[in-house]
Chain A
Amino acid sequence: MKLIFEKSQHGRRAGTLPSYDLPAAEVPDELRRSEPPRLPELAEPEIVRHFTALADRTFGVDTGFYPLGSCTMKHNPRVNERVVALPGFRDLHPLQEEDGAQGALELMWLLQEILAEVCGLHAVSLQPAAGSQGELTGLMLMRAYFADRGEAEQRKVVITADTAHGTNPASVTMAGFQLQKAETDARGNLDLDDLRAKVNEETAGLMLTNPSTLGLFDEHIEEVAEIFHEAGALVYYDGANLNAVCGISRPGDMGFDIVHINLHKTFSQPHGGGGPGGGPIVVRDILEPFIPAPAVVRDGDEFRLDYDRPKSIGKVRGYTGPFGVFVRSYAFIRAYGPDLRRMSEVAVLNANYMLSRLKGTYDLPFERLCMHEFVLSARNLKRDHGVNALDVAKRLMDYGFHPPTIYFPLIVPEALMIEPTETEAKETLDAFCDAMEKIAEEAAGDPSILKEAPHRRPVRRLDEVKAAKRAIVKYGFDQHPDLGGEPAEGETVEVQKGA
């Protein structure tokens, strides 16, 4: 398919602007644009067709089942799109005076109250733009907390689990801490002996996902928190898997001090092909003085922005955060009310049902009930038939499913991480399990079907090695190289895809 730039014809245009009979703008010569940017030149019909064709070549939750583990690809209610487009939200300027933004501030305050209740903690900042930024913000709070106690120099190590998302160690580095890794035991819990040996007066805290990325709830979570608290350290909850436990178990009650929530996962902000997201943080009272400014507070019947927070870490993002995400998540939660618990129950039921169907066909590394997602291993297919997790993933596409997350978590070889979410019907879960079983049979019968998959997508397997080597990251117009002449290997790298 042609790029929009390749469809461009000089002299065509779509947009027109009002023209007023005013003197022309005077741009000083030395600052004036010397050559126009080569933006596409198309009339409206061709622009619409172009993006429609691109949409046709994209697979979303609206298209079909999307069990990408750790990403919580649930249905995105359309009423949320309607309310976010109300002019009172959509056309509100972030620097509007507080008396002109009372509805927005009230909505944010209400959402803060809800998130505090769901997490069993005290104070909320909605500012962080996504989960990763929530992590970084949480670590900045740790730093500020220890600095306030005169322990900034001493507390330099943050521990993450060996099952952690890559964001955890990356955030540790960005926040200026040193990383230490904790090990998982044979049941899929954190290894307590290993933790006790590692936690000391240099430890600032732990970052943990619970349920873990294995889809398992840590059975010793209270002991884990205690080990850190006794050493004077803090415990951070990576909320990536909060969809498993809303109304069932609260991070604050488990002993966590700081939580980030992925509004685009648990609370249904559409994922948008990669974003936007929202990564609010929820904290215990001892950390409240440090949360980003401004904070949204209530004064009687009025809502306002509180900038007077001398111990605040400062701003982590412009204005007060991704407001449109708040509108959608608030609307999503209000549609459930106290029955939000049902959302998590069904997410866990769906995952366990699929697990029960598939554990005979694929290896199950930890023989336990799962939470909202589970991890299988295709190592049996690799050993017996020479096909790997990547081949299974590519073949699933031919059956009309988005593949699960693969090669993650790193401690499971040939990992297939499956998260159905609560919004899928039993027939869909069954159809996916049927396909997984059929693929295992194909692997035994004719593995080349898997090796050459996908067969029914707009492109065949793509050469990722060539992409990295050539690094063609924009259209080059008349200088654009022709890669068609180079041999294609279809070298897809066996690395984490998803999560």
Chain B
Amino acid sequence: MRYLSLTDSDQEAMLAAIGVSSIEELFKDIPESVRFDRPLDLEPALSEPELVAHLEELAGKNVHTGRELSFLGAGIYDHYVPAIVDAILARGEFLTAYTPYQPEMSQGVLQAIFEYQTAICELTGMDVSNASGYDGTTVAADACYVAKHATGRTKVVLAETLNPQVRQVVKTYAPGFGLEVVEVPHSDGVTDPDDLRKAAEDAACVVFQQPNFFGCLEPAPELAAAANDAEALAVAHVDPVSLGVLEAPGRYGCAIAIGEGQSAGNYQSYGGPHYGFIAMRSDFIRRMPGRIVGETTDTAGERGYVLTLQTREQHIRREKATSNITTNQTLLALAGLAHLSWLGPQGLRELGETCMSLAAHTRDRLGLPLVFPERTTFKEFAVRVGRPAEEAIRAARAEGVHPGYALKRDYSGMEDALLVCVTEKRSPADIDRLAEVLAA
């Protein structure tokens, strides 16, 4: 029992102190009829070396991005995670603490969250950020719920160019939230502001993605204006890596900015755990879901940090809470703060520019027909491979290259469309290799 400190003599002394003769007696309040009367049918225990060997074997069956040259993105990205992120997250104090309910014990993590909130507000141009949401999908549902209460309206409009995973989650939440979901089809790879304006009538909010799921740059300021014309809240779903290059949503009329934080500081990890971020204008602060850290002073007048505005939250407000969220993604958000601190404003801009110019180079180098030739793209773009995309993927993977994502999984009329993603980890030589296997 390597995780237990109890010895036989401890057990004896403790049972005597309690006044019972056996461990079994401690469970006497459990009715006999619901006591489990056999050993759990689980595989035998593994020693630590055996455990590592077993998990290495399982991990070995996966084809990760170190084994396959990967151009797969579509919402989760193979960006470089700096070494300091691993080092900071390995600190046991951060790793093994919980929500800082007792601020005098937890000034470090509270300050880190306050700094994270500041970084997210700087990136997005918003006034207030929470301490994190679960991921880039659930924060979209959260934003729609905020918008419902802010506007008194129940329709939410989603651009079809919003990540399909995000749209699916919003649709799952919608019935409970009392929301009706309307989707606006794309027009040649981006959302048409006039289409959006029509759909936004009587809507609580409009959610669009910049850069969108196809990698195309949306006319985001016009989309926000279309939402605002209809007095619907404009919600932008943004990639943190793009925000050194692209304008902050708060600067072009958005009320709420949300996104998947993974590309800033988190490994791909087969989809999680990552963090979702949600930031908004101060008008909606009392509708914000989840934890918020605020500054205050102690009895000696020293600066300190506490969880604040808790009357929004489930543990105080119960059925009237703005959300049920309790455990969030603080450690992953801390990774985001560390990565953004490592980059700084200059590094973040360079990262965005590097990805964008590498992707443009890849587009030219592949020489394949573009699905949306008129559009400006960021780190992803869609090409036609001239045969079913799955076939091209299979053939490329046989050569050790994962060429991208088959858009037909989510969109009709895209049988031969491949979404190619290029991060700063792919070199021009890697891109040559991709061109070679796709041409074969």
Which chain B positions have C-beta within 8 A of A349? 6, 11, 14-15, 18, 23, 26
Point out the residues of chain A lying under 8 angstroms from B137, CB to CB.
315, 317-318
B386 within 8 A of A: no
Most chain B beta-carbon neighbours within 10 Å: one of A216, A219, A348, A475 = A475
The answer, yes or no, to whether B200 is at the interface (CB within 8 Å) is: no
| Alpha-carbon separation in the docked complex, A335 to B43 (Å) | 10
Task: Assess the B357–A23 pair: CB atoms within 8 A.
Answer: yes
CA distance A101 to B118 in the complex (A): 37
A259 at interface by CB-CB < 8 Å: no
Write the chain A residue with the least CB distance to B376: A28
Is A287 part of the binding interface, using a Cβ–Cβ cutoff of 8 Å?
A: no
Establish whether residues A71 and B360, one from each chain, have CB atoms under 8 Å apart when the complex forms: no
- Cα of A53 to Cα of B354 in the assembled complex, Å: 33
Check B324–A132 contact: CB distance below 8 A.
yes
Please give, as numbers and ranges, the residues of chain B lying within 8 Å of A483 by CB-CB distance: 295-297, 303
Distance A461 CA – B268 CA, assembled complex (angstroms): 40
Contact with B along A326-341 (1 / 0, CB 8 A): 0100110111111111
Residue pair A327, B344 in contact (C-beta under 8 Å): no
Instruction: Tell yes or no: A200 within 8 A of B by CB.
Output: no
Which of A40, A330, A490: most chain B Cβ within 10 A? A40
User: Do A341 and B39 touch across chains, with their CB atoms under 8 A apart?
Assistant: yes
Assembled-state Cα–Cα distance A56/B111 (Å): 12
Q: Are A498 and B171 also in contact (CB < 8 A) when A317-B137, A318-B137 are?
A: no
Instruction: Report the Cα distance A255→B12, complex, angstroms.
Output: 34
User: Are B109 and A274 neighbours in the complex by a CB distance under 8 Å?
Assistant: yes
Q: Number of residue pairs across A and B with beta carbons under 8 Å?
A: 731
| Assembly CA distance A44 to B217 (angstroms) | 33
Across-interface contacts of A32 in B (CB, < 8 A): 245-247
Q: Which of A330, A339, A343, A484 contacts B301 (CB 8 A)?
A: A484
Instruction: List chain B residues, Cβ under 8 A from A92.
Output: 62-65, 268-270
Please give, as numbers and ranges, the residues of chain B lying within 8 Å of A341 by CB-CB distance.
Answer: 39-40
Binds B, one of A162-170, A378-386, A435-443: A162-170
Whether B109 pairs with A129 at a CB distance below 8 angstroms is: no
- A494 smallest CB distance to B (angstroms): 11
**Complex: A77 Cα to B427 Cα, angstroms:** 38
B176/A140 in contact, CB under 8 A? yes
Task: Give the total of B residues in contact with A, Cβ under 8 Å.
Answer: 206
**Residue A321 at the chain B interface, CB threshold 8 Å:** yes
B270 and A331 contacting across the interface, CB-CB below 8 Å: no
Q: Are A58 and B58 in contact (CB under 8 A)?
A: no
Q: Are B316 and A36 in contact (CB under 8 A)?
A: no
> A488 near B297 (CB under 8 angstroms)?
yes
A118 within 8 A of B: yes
Q: Are B17 and A353 in contact (CB under 8 A)?
A: yes
Q: Which stretch of A174-182, A190-198, A229-237 is in the interface?
A: A174-182
B33 → chain A closest CB, angstroms: 6
**When A55-B93, A221-B34, A470-B296 are in contact, do A95 and B74 touch as well, CB less than 8 Å?**
yes
Judge whether B198 is part of the interface by a CB distance below 8 angstroms: no
Cβ B169 vs Cβ A135 within 8 A: no
The answer to whether A274 and B18 touch across the interface, beta carbons within 8 angstroms, is: no
Q: Mark A193-214, 1 if CB is under 8 A from B, else 0.
A: 0000000000000000000000
Question: CA A320 – CA B169 in complex, angstroms?
Answer: 12
Q: Smallest CB–CB gap between B270 and chain A, Å?
A: 4
Chain A residues with CB below 8 A from B31, complex form: 219-222
Q: How far is the CA of A180 from the CA of B311 in the complex (A)?
A: 21
Stretch touching chain A among B226-234, B345-353, B366-374 = B345-353
Q: Can you list 20 pairs linking A and B with CB atoms under 8 Å apart?
A: A14-B342, A25-B353, A31-B221, A39-B122, A39-B348, A51-B112, A86-B55, A94-B271, A100-B62, A104-B270, A117-B41, A140-B172, A166-B321, A324-B273, A459-B300, A467-B296, A473-B295, A474-B114, A475-B115, A498-B102
